Every structure is written in structure tokens, then in C-alpha cells.
């Protein structure tokens, strides 16, 4: 026998109390969504039972007619949602209902804006759909029993949303879950059958299980008794993706997306295809408008669901789509896998590998179609890029087979357009005469990239430069080294030769060579003064206004990459930068003429620390830098 108390009272988490307070005080205007969320949960429970029963038929307990039943009782002022799905045991009730820490509650509250319509979509998106019951109910009672357990292992959960809940062990004959909502006075509209029916048609027509309600009694003819009402199936109860596209409306497609995506907004676009060949499978995939809050959490499990002969098998594994496409929502259904397929079989199956490749290519095709139709920064593709662009950058690193296709989908800020709308194709098309290289710069922020001294000669010559400021860009550029036969080159690494670009290239080159000779004393003094702080000191033609900048050797780690790794707690060996100086700058000319060793030392440190600041980083001794600058200003 278990030592678990028969009945207990638990306090909700602080975040749950906040959430319930929002629900109870009607922050959300679209109250009817409570029914959508609870039906969705019931459908998921039926899906899970059907899957587990493929290896253990006894879980059906002689009842394989999976369905959802809804009943409104005007006398009791209650609505009951009952399913005969997988059900829950006591621990699962506490984990899934008593706490929502796993559902991103903190992020949920951080996203709230106070605008009822904008906030409404967050309920399902953040996995707090069950609590939408408190939009219409002042008390919620849940009774449940997990399939396969004895009837004395039933559980009752009850709360009035006042900061605590009761949970007790009960006897429950039937498996599955029953939720009873005790309605608030202002929620009487939901006691009407026609109102419930209209909500079901709106949000749940596509649920692949019957949703049943008691129909209206048939009026008696004169001299006859009234015929009792019969139970009716309200929805179509068919897998939407199996129906021909010609039979489906945009509304039906969008409602199905909202069900599987736990979203309140329509998707940006969709893909519905039945693929035939060596392997036969159907895809119904969607592109959301917004990134889910857990997009960057490794354990997140929302994504594409795998069905085998319409039986749910698994969700959001990298066996269905590569990780960089984890933002896609939808279903994949096939007849070419066994119903009792295991994770190991999925990973080793030639059929699954072929379907994954096919699905990946079609998702990239969907993105390409969106990109073709993108005319401005307000387009659907611009929205998708803003939300999921960094995921696609992961694809450059992970998916060598599709790297060229993904590269065409990338969008960047540049020195000519900082709105992240420039494709590599656009960049190549507007390269200046004699330019054969795609130039870029990486920095911690867009502002640091835009104002980098490395850009000065590029602005002078009218050469466009990609401005990369996302952390992943350092890894992106190490894998994407060429596009359209054009090499990608960092303007902050290695030697830079732009001598063949520009109208006065030969004249500029001659003047620069003369300046280099006059700067030789300054180079020598900087090398002696800075010592092992730098790998080398040399003159440069990449600067026009600034006196100095830092560059990395061709195969060394950039300063930005070093900072990123250190911030992530990595033990990174320090790499000395190269200090490049502008031989035509007055400060460099002044340094060349200096005689005092102390002044030379201070001046060298100032030039070096200025170059560090221009990179968006801090000098090793900020106070010392300030002191030396102040000393220079007072002389």
C-alpha cells in the first residue's frame, strides 16, 4: 500500500497565483478559448493512449471508442468536458496541473502588454491553457485515472483559484479525465448548447476524435410522447491532413494550426502535400508568425508531429526535421513505418531518413517562395526572418547538403541598409567594379559594427560591407566561406588590399606609400612600447579618419569571438591582436616625432586602448586610460 495521504491541500506557486488572478479578473476578452484549450488537452490524451496501446492493447480496458464528451447543466450551472484518453496518476496531476514552472510562466508574464487582444494568444503558446478554465469558472474539479491502473487509483483535483488546491485519491471506474467547470454568473452564455456547438465548429472541427454532446429532444407530434434526445457528434472527427486541399478552407487550415501550434494568430504560410514514390507520406506544415518562448531551450518539444496511419507516434524530434527548422509546426503522416515504431527504429530507418530529407527540401522551398514575394521590410518573409533568422543560420553550420539554398535565404544589415533585408544575391549584384570579395565585419552590437573604424576605407571607395552582430555570426562565417564563387572575407582579419578598386587607385597607392615611410618611426616606437600586448604593429590603408585599429591574423580567433567564449564561461587562450595605424593621421605623425620615453609610452597606450574601445570592448585598465587621456588634454 502507498503511504501517500488520501487527501492533501497544496499552495500554488507564486506565478500560478498571479496567472489565476489575471484569469479571474478577465484580462482576456476572448473567453471562449477555454473550450478550445480543454478540448485540445483531451485530444492529446486520446492520442497518447492510442499510441501506448499499440504495444499494450489492455490499456483500452475493452473501450477503444476514443472520444470527447461535453455536457452543459443549466440547473447546476456547470460544463463538463470528459475524455477516455490516457488519464493521469497522482504524481502527473501535481506535475501537470499543480505547477506550471515547466511551462515558461516567467516568460509568459514578461510578454504581457496589457492589450487584451495581443495578450490572448499567449495563453496556449506558453502552455498554460488549462488555466484558461478560470476565465469562466470560479471552481474547477478534475477527476482522472491513468489507463492501466486499478480503479482505486483515481485522483480528484479541485481549486477555486484562491491560491491553493485540494488533491485526493478516489475510486474511478473509467479511465481518462473529467473536468467540471462551475461557471461564474457572467458566463451563462456557455450553458447554451448552440453556443458550445459554434465554438466546437470554430476551433475543433479538425480534432481526429468525435466530440459528442447531447442533442435537443425531438418535439412530439400531437398525441405522441416527446422523443428523448440522442448523443450527437459535433465535429467532422477526421484527420484534416488526409482530406483533399480542394475541400479545405483557409479557416479550417488556420484553426488546425492554432490547435497544434497552441497559437491564437494565423500562420504566415502553410504547405500541404502528399508525396508518392518509394515512400508515401503526407505533410501539413506551417510557418508561425512569432517564435515560441522556448525556441532556444534544448528540451523544448513543440514542433512537427509524426503519425503512422493516423496514429500519433512522436513529436518534435530531430528525426522529422533538422533542429534548425524546429520553429515549423505541423504533422507528417506515413504508411511506411510500423505502428509500434521505436525511437531507435526512427533513427535507423531508411524510410524516415528519406522523408526527413524530403520534408526539409519542401520547407526550404516554402521559405524560398516567401522570399521571392518579399518586397519590403513589412513582408511575411521579413517577419519570418526577424523571428527565425538565427535558426536558419544554424542550418549553414549543420546542413552541408542544403548550405547553398540556405545561404540564399539569409538576410543581413549592411553599410547601405541596416534593416536586415539584404540577401547575399543582392550584395553580389551591386558589388563595385573590380570587387571580387564579399566583405563583412562582426561585432557585439549593430552600433559597434556600424561605427567600426575598419569601415572607413570601404565608405570612401563605396564598397558595401555586411554588418554582423548576432553571436552565431562568428560560427556562421567560419562555415560559409564562399557564395556565388565569391569569397567571404572579414575586414578585421588579415591583410587588406583594395588598391585595384576606385577611380584614383594608382594615385592613392603612391601617396600611401610615401606616408608609410614617414610613419616608420611611429611603428618602431609602438612595437617597443606595447611589447607583448600586440602580435605586431603595421601601417594600414583601411583607415581614413581614425588613428589606429585592431585586426586579427588570418587564422586567429577574432577579438569578438574571444569575448563571446569568455562570457560563456569558456577557458580561452588569449590571442594578441595586430595594431594597425593610419600613417596619414596627425596623431601618428606626432608620435613619430616624439622623444620623451614617458610620453611615447602613454601615447602608445592611448592609441592601443582607443582601438579596443572602437571594437566595443573595454581596455584592461579603464581608469589608467582616462588618466592618460586627461594628462594629454592638459598639456
Kindly report the CATH number assigned to the domain that includes residue 456.
3.40.50.11260
pLDDT at 218: 66
Q: Which CATH number characterizes residue 626's domain?
A: 1.20.120.790
Give domain status of residue 420, yes or no.
Answer: yes
CA-nearest of 322, 264, 271, 250 to 292 is 264
What was the pLDDT predicted at 100?
47
Angstrom distance (rounded) from CA 228 to CA 211: 20
Q: How many domains does the chain have?
A: 4
Residues 89 and 73 in one domain: yes
One domain for residues 484 and 578: no
What pLDDT, on the 0 to 100 scale, is given for residue 124? 46
Per-residue confidence at 299, pLDDT binned at 50, 70, 90? low
Q: Both 519 and 486 in a single domain?
A: no
Distance, CA of 477 to CA of 441 (rounded, Å): 10
Domain of 385, in residue numbers: 381-490
**Degrees to nearest 5, angle at CA 143 with 141 and 144:** 145
In a domain, 413, yes or no: yes
* pLDDT, average across residues 493-517: 73
Q: Using CA atoms, how far apart are residues 20 and 350, in angstroms rounded to an integer?
A: 48
Highest mean pLDDT: which of 357-366, 590-599, 615-624? 357-366
Query: What cell does 634 get?
Result: 592638459
What is the predicted pLDDT for the residue at 548? Answer: 92
Query: Among 554, 553, 551, 575, which Cα is nearest to 563's?
Result: 575
Decide which of 162 and 446 is more confident.
446
The residue from 372, 391, 412 where one domain ends is 372
Please say which residue of 233, 261, 290 terminates a domain.
Answer: 233
1 within a domain of the structure (yes/no): no
Statement to judge: residues 63 and 179 lie in one domain = yes
Q: Please report the pLDDT score of residue 464 as a whole number.
A: 96
Same domain as 158, residue 45: yes
HSE-CB at 246 with a 13 A cutoff on CA atoms is 0
The verdict on pTM exceeding 0.85 is: no
- For residues 319 and 454, membership in a common domain is answered with no
Share of the chain above pLDDT 90, in %: 45
Same structural domain, 58 and 143: yes
Q: Are residues 244 and 286 in the same domain?
A: yes
Same domain, 521 and 600: yes
Q: Is residue 496 part of a domain?
A: no
Which of these, 542, 526, 533, 551, lies nearest to 607 by C-alpha position?
526
Q: Are residues 429 and 407 in the same domain?
A: yes
Residue 503's pLDDT band, with cuts at 50, 70 and 90, is low
CATH number at residue 40: 3.30.565.10
What percent of the chain has pLDDT above 70? 85
> Residues 6 or more apart from 100 whose CB is under 8 A from it?
13, 15, 16, 19, 127, 128, 131
Min mean pLDDT across 299-313, 401-415, 474-488 is at: 299-313
Confidence of residue 504 (pLDDT cuts 50, 70, 90): low
Instruction: Of 206-215, 245-254, 294-303, 479-488, give the lowest mean pLDDT range.
Output: 294-303
CA separation for the pair 477, 557 (Å, rounded)? 12
In a domain, 497, yes or no: no
User: What is the predicted pLDDT for the residue at 343?
Assistant: 61
Model confidence at 30: pLDDT above 80: no
pLDDT of residue 113: 56
Query: Is the residue at 106 inside a domain?
Result: yes
495 within some domain: no
Q: What is the mean pLDDT of residues 44-57?
A: 89
Least confident of 42-46, 70-74, 305-309, 326-330: 305-309
What whole-number distance in Å separates Cα of residue 294 and Cα of residue 302?
Answer: 9
Rounded CA-CA distance 274/359 in Å is 11
The SS3 assignment for 64 reads coil
Domain end: 218, 233, 248, which one? 233
Radius of gyration (Cα) for the chain, nearest Å? 32
Shared-domain flag, residues 367 and 392: no
Average pLDDT taken over every residue of the chain: 84
Same domain, residue pair 511 and 485: no
Q: For residues 137 and 6, which has the higher predicted lDDT (pLDDT)?
A: 137
Amino acid at each position: 500500500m502507498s503511504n501517500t495521504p488520501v487527501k492533501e491541500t497544496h499552495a500554488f506557486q507564486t506565478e500560478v497565483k498571479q496567472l489565476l488572478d489575471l484569469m479571474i479578473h478577465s484580462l482576456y476578452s476572448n473567453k471562449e478559448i477555454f473550450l478550445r484549450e480543454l478540448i485540445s488537452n483531451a485530444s492529446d490524451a486520446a492520442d497518447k493512449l492510442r499510441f501506448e496501446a499499440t504495444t499494450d492493447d489492455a490499456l483500452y480496458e475493452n473501450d477503444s471508442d476514443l472520444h470527447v464528451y461535453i455536457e452543459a447543466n443549466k440547473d447546476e450551472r456547470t460544463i463538463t468536458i470528459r475524455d477516455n484518453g490516457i488519464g493521469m496518476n497522482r504524481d502527473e496531476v501535481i506535475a501537470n496541473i499543480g505547477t506550471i514552472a515547466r511551462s515558461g510562466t516567467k516568460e509568459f508574464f514578461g510578454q504581457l502588454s496589457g492589450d487584451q487582444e495581443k495578450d490572448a494568444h499567449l495563453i496556449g503558446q506558453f502552455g498554460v491553457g488549462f488555466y484558461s478554465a478560470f476565465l469562466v469558472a470560479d471552481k474547477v474539479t478534475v477527476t482522472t485515472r491513468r489507463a492501466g491502473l486499478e480503479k482505486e487509483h483515481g485522483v480528484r483535483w479541485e481549486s477555486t483559484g484562491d491560491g491553493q488546491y485540494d488533491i485526493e485519491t478516489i475510486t474511478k471506474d473509467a479511465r481518462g479525465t473529467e473536468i467540471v467547470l462551475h461557471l461564474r454568473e457572467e458566463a451563462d452564455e456557455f450553458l447554451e448548447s448552440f453556443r458550445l456547438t459554434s465554438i466546437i465548429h470554430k476551433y475543433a472541427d479538425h480534432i481526429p476524435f468525435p466530440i459528442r454532446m447531447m442533442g435537443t429532444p425531438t418535439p412530439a407530434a400531437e398525441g405522441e410522447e416527446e422523443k428523448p434526445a440522442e448523443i450527437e457528434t459535433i465535429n467532422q472527427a477526421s484527420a484534416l491532413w488526409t482530406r483533399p486541399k480542394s475541400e479545405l478552407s483557409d479557416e479550417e487550415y488556420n484553426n488546425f494550426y492554432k490547435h497544434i501550434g497552441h497559437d491564437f494568430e494565423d500562420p504566415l504560410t502553410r504547405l500541404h502535400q502528399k508525396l508518392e514514390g518509394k515512400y508515401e507520406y503526407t505533410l501539413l506544415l506551417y510557418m508561425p508568425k512569432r517564435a515560441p518562448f522556448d525556441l532556444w531551450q534544448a528540451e523544448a518539444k513543440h514542433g512537427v508531429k509524426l503519425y503512422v496511419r493516423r496514429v500519433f507516434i512522436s513529436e518534435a524530434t530531430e528525426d522529422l526535421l533538422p533542429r534548425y527548422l524546429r520553429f515549423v509546426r505541423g504533422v507528417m503522416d506515413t504508411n511506411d513505418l510500423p505502428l509500434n515504431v521505436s525511437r531507435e527504429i526512427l533513427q535507423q530507418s531508411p524510410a524516415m531518413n528519406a522523408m526527413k530529407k524530403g520534408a526539409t527540401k519542401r520547407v526550404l522551398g516554402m521559405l524560398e517562395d516567401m522570399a521571392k514575394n518579399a518586397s519590403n521590410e513589412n513582408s511575411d518573409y521579413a517577419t519570418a526572418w526577424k523571428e527565425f533568422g538565427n535558426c536558419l543560420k544554424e542550418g549553414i553550420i549543420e546542413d552541408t547538403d542544403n548550405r547553398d539554398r540556405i545561404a540564399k535565404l539569409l538576410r543581413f544589415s549592411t553599410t547601405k541598409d541596416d534593416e536586415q533585408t539584404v540577401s547575399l544575391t543582392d550584395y553580389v549584384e551591386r558589388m563595385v567594379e573590380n570587387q571580387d570579395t564579399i566583405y563583412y565585419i562582426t561585432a557585439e552590437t549593430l552600433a559597434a559594427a556600424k561605427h567600426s573604424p575598419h569601415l572607413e576605407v570601404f565608405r570612401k571607395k563605396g564598397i558595401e560591407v555586411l554588418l554582423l552582430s548576432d553571436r552565431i555570426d562568428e560560427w556562421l562565417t567560419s562555415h560559409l566561406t564562399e557564395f556565388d564563387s565569391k569569397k567571404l572575407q572579414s575586414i578585421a582579419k588579415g591583410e587588406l588590399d583594395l588598391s585595384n578598386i576606385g577611380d584614383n587607385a594608382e594615385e592613392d597607392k603612391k601617396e600611401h606609400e610615401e606616408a608609410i615611410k614617414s610613419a616608420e618611426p611611429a611603428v618602431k616606437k609602438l612595437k617597443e612600447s606595447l611589447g607583448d600586448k600586440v602580435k605586431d604593429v603595421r601601417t594600414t590603408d583601411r583607415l581614413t579618419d581614425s588613428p589606429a585599429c585592431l585586426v586579427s591574423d588570418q587564422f586567429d580567433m577574432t577579438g569578438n569571438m574571444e569575448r563571446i567564449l569568455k562570457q560563456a564561461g569558456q577557458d580561452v587562450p588569449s590571442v594578441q591582436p595586430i595594431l594597425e595605424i593610419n600613417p596619414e593621421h596627425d596623431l601618428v605623425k606626432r608620435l613619430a616625432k616624439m622623444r620623451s620615453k614617458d610620453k611615447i609610452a602613454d601615447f602608445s597606450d592611448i592609441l592601443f586602448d582607443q582601438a579596443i574601445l572602437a571594437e566595443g570592448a573595454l581596455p584592461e585598465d579603464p581608469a589608467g586610460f582616462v588618466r592618460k587621456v586627461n594628462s594629454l588634454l592638459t598639456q
